[in-house]
Every structure is written in C-alpha cells, then in structure tokens.
Chain A
C-alpha cells in the first residue's frame, strides 16, 4: 500500500472561526500552511446564533481586526443588521453586534481562505498526531495520508467525539448533522493530554413564513452603521437592513416544560458534559428562575437566502413533540413549522491550563490549540484564540519570540490568561466584567492598542499601521491643544450652555472642564472653539473620551503599571517548587501543576496566597545567583 505524503510548515486542524484565523495568520506571515476541515461546506460555519459581536465579544472582533485578522472584514461584507449595544452607557462597554447572513459569511470566508497565498484548504479528517520526543512532527488523516510539518494548531471546536441529543434521540455527529471527529481524542490521550467534556445547545430554526410577526415587537438596526473592521470605509456599510423580532415565553410554555422535564436528557442524566450557566437552555431557565413568569425570545433571520428564523433564548434538548408544543405556546409562533430541531451537543475539549499564554502546549513542542477545543464558547472567543495560535505557530518557525497579549492590553489577553490560568469548569464566555482594566480596553481604541503588535509580527499591513500612527498623533495634538484653551463668560458661550441645560459661567473656565460636564461633550462645544481643526469621527471620539474620563483612565493606567511589574518577573521553567519549603502545600501543588510563566500569572492561580507570592519573590531573588 502506498499513501500520500506531503510536507508543510504549519497544519491547522479545523476550519471554524479559530481554524480560519489561525490558518490565515500563519499563511499571511509567509508559512506554508494547510488547513483541514471535515467538510468544505462548513468553513467558518455558524451553527448556533446568527450574530457576530455583542457585549465584550464585539471588543474581541475589533482587537482581532487590529492585529490583522479576518472576522471583522468578513462580517462587514456579509451582515444584514447592525447595532451598537450599550450606546447609552460608558464608552468602555459600547459593543458592536451584527446579524450575519450565515451562508454568505461562510462562503466569503471560504473564498478568502482559498485565495490566500501559501494556504491550502483540504477536506479530510485528521486522526492522529505524530509526536516524537515531545515534539510535533506531523499529522495523519483517515485515509492514511501523512502530512509532515513543524507546527500544528488544533481547532476542532465541538467536533471531537461529538454527539447531538434531543429527547431520547442521540446522533453521533457534530453540529448541523456534520461528521464528528472520533479519533483525535485517543491520539491526544496517548500523549498525556488531559481531556474534559463540555456541553452546549442551540434552539430550533423555524420557517419564517409560518410566523405571525404582528404579535412581536420589531427590532431594527442602527443608522448609520459602524463597521467592525478599522479598514472598512463607513460609507461601504450603509446597507438596507433586515429586522429582528422580540417575543416572550409564558406560563403555558413553562408548564409544558415542567411537565416534560423527565424527557430531557439534561435532567434524565444522559448528558455528561458540563454546560454553560450564562447560556442556559429554556429547561434550565424555567427550573432555575422559577419565579420568572416569562423569558425574552429573539427571533432573528439566518440569512437572505433562507426562510429560517433563529429563536434566540429557547435552546433545548426536549424531544421533538415537546419542542413543537412549547414553541407553539409563544405569541407569533402558534402555527410555526420547525425546520431544524433544537438540540444539545456534547464534545471533547481540553483543560487549557496545559497551555502557555502563546497557546502552545507546555509539554509538546510545536503543538498549539485554539477555540472551543480550549474550553471556550462563542465564535469570537474562538477566532481571537485562533489568530494568537496562528501567529505564534508562525513566529516559532521564524525563530522569533511568541506574541503574548496580556490583561492590560486586550480582552484577548484576558480571555487567554483566564483559560490558561484558571481551571475552567464550564464553556468560557467573554464578559466585560472579566477585564479589570476595561476603561482602557475599549472597542473604539483597539487599533491604538494593538496595531503596533499586529504590524511587528508581520500580519498587519504597513499602510494600515501608518494610518493608526497618524490617528494617534492627531488625537494627542488635539488633546494638548484643548488643554491650553480658556473660555470666558461671553454671551455666545452662555447661550450655548443654556441651550444644553448647562449652568452658565460666572468666571472663565478651561475648555476641558466644560467638555467634562455630563450634559456636554467635545462636539457640542465646537461653536465656541473656532480654532478647532477638522478631524475624523474616529479621532473626535477618542479626544472626547480621553478628556471626559481622564481621571478614571489615569487611575487604571496606574494600576496597569503595578500589574506590568509583576508580569515582567519571569519564573524559570525548571524551578522545583519542592525546594521552596516556606510555600504552603496547596500553593506548591498548584504551582507545580500549572507552571506559571511569571509572578503575575502565579498570583492569579486560585489557592496561591499573597504570602506565597512574597515567598516566591524572595526565592527567585536567590535563584538568580545560583
């Protein structure tokens, strides 16, 4: 027998949101890359909700874009509705969310993948990792073919030993009835990788022609639309948008669910995987929040070329007949026809504390991992890890230092640090409250924060980087100019203030102090600031935020300075914690297991106390001289 044998620099396993970003990053950085998918029709598939972005996830997409990723550009081309969430709240929690045309999104990404130099997209199931002396050498596929390589990025999402469940039906397949990947887990276990089993779920899709929208509230997109990508021109995204709808469950829905709980595999004990608490099934909601008489449901189009509507808020693993009964109790869905059933899905993933912050396995040289395989959930979380793993696989082969994003420069840094430091017990979702320096990590300034890094690793174009450098200069100049300006109690000033319900001046005042008044902002004060240069929307927004929230921003910058000091104290990887006798036993065990890269990471491990950290600091000081 003879088998196919090929060689690449980098192999990416999986072409979901993580796999696509990893493969694109690696190929664009000049590495010969092959990306495997179980089906060419499932590239960048959105098997659950039809959105990109949302609270804190929108931040991830912006950051990904600033590094040179594809998700932001791809959704700008294929969205059908867009909204800025939390627009009435502080700038740190503004979040962009777009409804995608799912099929268009997937096709557009596939096309980009296929048209990227150095990138081969191939339909095949990877069944085995070839690892010699704790070093990755290649992979094997189901057909027996061997692909030699120097780095592998695993992005298997929810496909590893996947099974889908509703009622007593169990299908051994991945999402949307796609083929599961049943062999790779064993190869991982054989290489001492610690596996977990997680669970998630999705609601039914309903034929829009059987929905009575008159019983629901219409939800429209924003105008003007703000694009995700910093490279997309605003005029290019002002499209005609499609509406979404809002409706509610009621007591009748809940009664049906309660009466049939014993038929849900979640409650009968068939499902072993751990599900996310932030995205509960409707069964969970009814049981855990029994005092709520109704739950919101969002009815959202799946795309322009299908009549399917996604029923957000009503994921379930109830049997088919119960699904019909419960959906039919919802106003507007009385005569609904289900196109696809709701189901729960279980899959294998890893305990991500086995990874470094570069997303490379601590114990297997050249093996990287990203996405739901790492215990996260969500398209955006997956893509964000994908780009980091792809960049770092490429950097490794280029003999360069890995790119480590940290908690002070990005949500991506927070996401990865949480995954590799805390032992995640359920699928991990990003939230703005997880970012302790979130006032600094805004979606509006992701380009200012990360473009330099994206450019230096060789992913972001010089043109885009130069644009950011210029933007930063304009912001700084304008802030400096504003700080010098005093405003007298002139008649036109008083009139302007009164028109915004702002207290008139009794004396002269600095212009920046006026901008800080809650009822005023930078733009509103333009008439009394005649020397103001003409600046873009983006620059004006940054100037306004910087002036208005300067006190808070300075406070967080100070905290970041402290944080950086700890992050810069590196812990040698050959340290033997048993030699540090003053460490408490629990701390010693945790540190030995997790092998943190620096003191900062060590301090975030649960079970390691401040006193342990002090002991460690003192020990490291002596270590330096050994």
Chain B
C-alpha cells in the first residue's frame, strides 16, 4: 500500500463491453509493459507523451490489439513512469491483460493508490488531503468487506488449510534450525517437494476456477423480489432454462436464497432468488424475509415480480417502498391469466419500467431480456467494479503464492540448504493471507512453540 513498486489497475468503469484502459505506474512500468507488448518500437525507446500501436501477447498467443500511451516521469499523474494500455477486446480481455501484467511483476493497485501516489509526489493540492484519506479508508474497508463476502465458505476453507500446511512446514524447518540437536532434517527436502507439489496443484485449481468464473460472482447483482407465490422461482427457472449458459449453481448462505449466474446477450448476471416477502410471525420464515430485505442494498438491479392476477396488496406496497431508490424492473407476471392490474397505472405510479410477462407461455421474456441489456449498455445499470477489482487482486495473490511455492521447488532441486525454503514458504503464506485478509503478526513463532517442543 505504501510501497513504491509498480502498480496496475483498470482505469475505466467496467460496464461497457468495448474499450477499456489499464493504467500502470511505477519504476518498472516500462519494462513490465515492454515484456508483454509487441509494436514497431520498444516502449523504452519511445518518447514520452506518444501513442504506440501494437499487440499484447501472452508468450506467442495474441491477446489484444492495443494503443499504448507513454508518460515518463515526472510528467504523469503520479509523477512516476506511467503507461496506459487502451484495450479493445472487452472485459475478459482486460482481465487477461491485467493478469499478464501481474505475472510480469506489477501489483494490482490498492483502492485510491494512484491518487495517493500523485499526492505524495506533490501532484495534488494539499486541500485535497482530507478527501484522499477518506477515500483510502472507506475504499479499503469496502474492498476487505467484499473480499470476505466473496469468499464462499469452501474457498475460504481451502485457503485457510493451505496456509496452515505452509506454516506447519515452515515451523518444522525453523524449529530444526533453532534447535538443531533436537530436530533433524535428513530426507526432508524430498518430503517437502511432494507436499509443495500438491499445494501448487490446489492453487492451480483455484486459479482455474477464478479464470473460468466458477467462483467469481462477477456481473450484475440481480435480485428477484416479490411476495409469496408471485412467481419468483418460476422466473428464475425460466431465465436459466432458456439460457444454457449457466455457469454455476451456488447454494446460498441460507436455504432460502439461491443464486445462479447466467448471461443474457453477453451480459453477466448474478441472479439471486429470495424468500417471498410478507409480514409473518413465523420465526423461520421471518429470517428469510429479513435476508431478502437486507440483500436489497447490494443489488445492482431488482426484478420486482407482481402477480397481475391479483390486485396489489400491502405486501407489494411494503416491497415497493423499500426499493424506490433502486434500479428496478417491475414484472407483471402471470400475463396468461386475467389481469387485475393496469400496466400504465403502475408505470405512472412508480416511475419504473414495467414488463408484462408469463413464465407459462414465455410472453414478454424477450422484452425483459432486451430491457436488461439496454439498461446495462446505456450505463443505467452498473456492476459493482470494486467487486471485480477485489477478484483480480485475489487471483493475483494466488498467482504470487504459486510463484513463491515454485521457487521452493527450484531451491529443492538446486540442493539449496533448508533455511532457504522457509523464506519462499513464508512469502507464499503471506500472499494467501492477503486473500483472506489475515494479518501476519507472530504466526510463525506461535506455530513453532505450539507444535514443536523447543528448548533445553
């Protein structure tokens, strides 16, 4: 956060599918970008404040056609060497380029870090200090909240287990170094090599999952709300049955919310089905209702399902009052039955788009899908970009952990003494800790003392 290494991030908002800019800043930014860019000239040989045309490569694989803008120190926003990469291939490509930069030695920027650097390098007026400090603290908190929120229980457990294994091996090596007459490391490198290989396998699995989006919940958080029996679940089923691009099926944290990720016309949605909202004295049901109401805050888009075969009642009113300031599409469901609700009245009354719909004969489905994608491409609905950044940061932490563990393997192969292993093991441990938001403190000393009987 306070380092002067090279950082990178996506500088534009993530909602439009086309162009996006990645910004790289720091001492090594030119060297790093040069390592993945092929153009007429090396960036290092180009003048400041010029634009270069070329391609981004991952090894020999062409990734994207790009424009590169070069701003050499001190003539840039941060006053450091800064490169902006103008990508054209959409969100997935942006993500890919970002991960190439990380592989080449850059680090994903912390919230507000470009601005912080600009400030610390004397680029910004002092009167802005207060707002920058607020930005840093609030964004960091949000990022951490998101990071933890996004880790499903099982993913979290995998990382915690991995860290524990790494710490155990390090503690074993260190206790042998501290108390060499007590613990013997003969034959240990081979044993460690096997263990590290299996750790790398687990990390590879995690990286794969991140890349294919099995774990990521990127996309527009779309909440289906409505009173009981309005037809929420059938809407979810309709959307997901029609759309074969279901990526994952994540059981919710409680048995009464269900999430699915689907794409409509290329737009990713996380659809969250909720319990029917109504006033209730049933304790179990009430928990579900409260959960549904809580999730309104995090939603980017709400599909409010109304049973058009019945007049609006106090439960509908209750819900609509909770979501007036959100992006909402009102769905008049059961259009196959006799309608008790006038579409125009509703539209006027709540000033929200209304779509008439039937999950029985699929009337209005196309209209609904177009409406959703229109809202997205027009920028009316945005996905939460901090979510995206948190995800790519997590992925880069995994990558770094893997690199550190690979270093352990090469130290073993090169017959380095055992004390060299623990240096890279601890690096891997710390990289994984960044994902779960753990602080380091005295973990290693504690582990040595608790697991190994030390001292004379």
Interface positions of A (Cβ within 8 A of B)? 49, 55-56, 85-86, 88-90, 92-93, 246, 276-280, 285, 288-289, 292, 295-296, 298, 312-313, 422, 431-434, 438-439, 518-519, 552, 562, 565-566, 580-584, 599, 603, 606, 609-615, 617-619, 621-622, 625
Given contacts A518-B414, A618-B129, A434 and B140 within 8 Å (CB-CB): no
- Chain B residues positioned under 8 Å from A519 (CB to CB): 415
Q: How far is the CA of A582 from the CA of B414 in the complex (A)?
A: 48
A89 x B419 contact (CB < 8 A): yes
Cβ-closest chain A residue relative to B127: A622
Q: Considering the complex, give the chain B residue whose CB is closest to the CB of A286.
A: B453
Across the interface, do A296 and B181 meet the contact criterion of CB distance under 8 Å?
yes
- Considering residues A93, A288, A432, A610, which has the most beta carbons from chain B within 10 angstroms of its beta carbon? A93
**CB-CB < 8 A to A562: which residues of B?**
3-5
Interface residue B280 (Cβ < 8 Å from any Cβ of A): no
B415 contacts which chain A residues (CB < 8 A)? 518-519
State in angstroms the CA–CA spacing of A295 and B177 once bound together: 18
B120 at the interface (CB under 8 A from A): yes
Q: A280-B455, A285-B453, A432-B419 are in contact. Are A614 and B180 (CB under 8 A)?
A: no
Pick from A49, A288, A296, A433 the residue with the most CB of B within 10 Å: A433
Q: How far is the CA of A502 from the CA of B330 in the complex (A)?
A: 77
Cβ–Cβ < 8 Å partners of A599 in chain B: 2
Contact A90 B419 (CB under 8 A): yes
CA distance A613 to B3 in the complex (A): 11
Name the residue among B5, B180, B444, B456 with the largest chain A CB count within 10 angstroms: B456
* Closest partner residue, chain A, to B5 (CB atom): A562
**Pair B136/A618 contact, Cβ less than 8 Å:** yes
What residues of chain A lie closer than 8 Å to B140, measured between beta carbons? Answer: 609-611, 614
Contact with A along B172-214 (1 / 0, CB 8 A): 0010011111100100000000000000000000000000000
6 residue pairs from A and B, CB less than 8 Å apart: A56-B178, A89-B417, A562-B3, A610-B140, A621-B129, A625-B126
Chain A residues positioned under 8 Å from B141 (CB to CB): 611
CB distance from B429 to the nearest CB of A (A): 12
CB-based contact B126/A611 at 8 Å:
no
What residues of chain A lie closer than 8 Å to B423, measured between beta carbons? 439, 552
In the complex, A85 Cα to B116 Cα: how many Å?
47
- Nearest opposing residue in chain B for A606, CB measure: B441
Min distance, Cβ A314 to any Cβ of chain B, angstroms: 9
Task: Indicate which residue in B111, B136, B170, B419 contacts A93 across the interface (CB closer than 8 Å).
Answer: B419
Query: A566 — which chain B residues lie within 8 A by C-beta?
Result: 2
In the complex the two chains form, what is the Cα distance from A285 to B182 in whole Å?
Answer: 14
- B137 contacts the other chain (CB 8 A): yes
Q: Does B356 contact A (CB under 8 A)?
A: no
Contact between B133 and A313, CB atoms less than 8 A apart = no
Chain B, interface residues (CB within 8 Å), range: 35 or more
Which B residues from 27 to 46 make CB contacts under 8 A with A? none
Asked whether A86 lies within 8 Å of B445 as measured between CB atoms, the reply is no
Question: A55-B177, A313-B455 known; A431 and B419 CB under 8 Å?
Answer: no
Task: Tell me the complex Cα distance, A296–B5, Å.
Answer: 48
Interface string of B116-136 (1 = CB under 8 A from A): 100110000010011011101
A433 touches B136 (CB 8 A): no
Decide: A618 and B119 in contact? CB cutoff 8 A: yes
The answer to whether A582 and B134 touch across the interface, beta carbons within 8 angstroms, is yes
Most chain B beta-carbon neighbours within 10 Å: one of A86, A422, A584, A606: A86
B448 contacts partner chain A, Cβ-Cβ < 8 Å? yes
Q: Mark B408-431, 1 if CB is under 8 A from A, else 0.
A: 000000111111101100000000
B439 at the interface (CB under 8 A from A): yes
Q: Judge whether A434 and B416 touch: CB under 8 Å.
A: no
Q: If the complex has contacts A90-B420, A93-B177, A562-B5, are A615 and B445 also in contact, measured as CB distance less than 8 A?
A: no
Distance in Å: Cβ of A242 to nearest Cβ of chain B? 17
Which residues of B299-324 have CB atoms within 8 Å of chain A's CB atoms? none
Most chain B C-beta atoms within 10 Å of own C-beta, residue among A55, A278, A614, A621: A614
Interface flag for B17 (CB, 8 Å): no
CB pair A610–B2 under 8 Å, yes or no, is yes
A580-B133 in contact given A86-B180, A610-B2, A610-B140 (Cβ < 8 Å): yes
Contact A89 to B418, CB < 8 A, known contacts A277-B449, A313-B455, A610-B2: yes
Contacts of A88 in B (CB 8 A): 417
| Most chain B beta carbons < 10 A, residue from A615, A617, A622 | A615
Least Cβ–Cβ distance between B451 and chain A, in angstroms: 9
Given A583-B137, A618-B132, are A606 and B439 also a contact pair (CB < 8 Å)? yes
Q: Provide the residues of chain A in CB contact with B133, threshold 8 Å.
A: 580-582, 615, 618-619
Q: Knowing A278-B449, A615-B133, A618-B129 touch, does A89 contact B177 (C-beta < 8 A)?
A: yes
A355 nearest CB across to chain B (Å): 19
